[in-house]
Amino acid sequence: MGVQAYVYCRCWQDGLAVPPPVGPVGFDEDGRLGFLEPWDRSNADEHGDVEH
């Protein structure tokens, strides 16, 4: 038996990260940082830019 966990980076919250390449970027309802527009083909590149 093992224990698995994930800790989110706080760089964005602490103001240590560079500004995002696109917007709007923020925290979703699950507390994950990402591009806040729903994914579709017209904004797939923006989603990828934020993930990188």
Per residue in 7-42, pLDDT (tens digit) is 777 887 798 988 877 888 888 888 788 889 999 999
Please tell me the predicted confidence (pLDDT) of residue 42: 93
How many Å apart are CA 41 and CA 27, to the nearest integer?
Answer: 22
Per-domain boundaries in the chain: 1-52
Please tell me the predicted confidence (pLDDT) of residue 27: 82
Q: What angle do CA 34, 38, 41 make, to 5 degrees?
A: 110
Please tell me the predicted confidence (pLDDT) of residue 1: 74
Please tell me the predicted confidence (pLDDT) of residue 40: 92
Please tell me the predicted confidence (pLDDT) of residue 41: 94
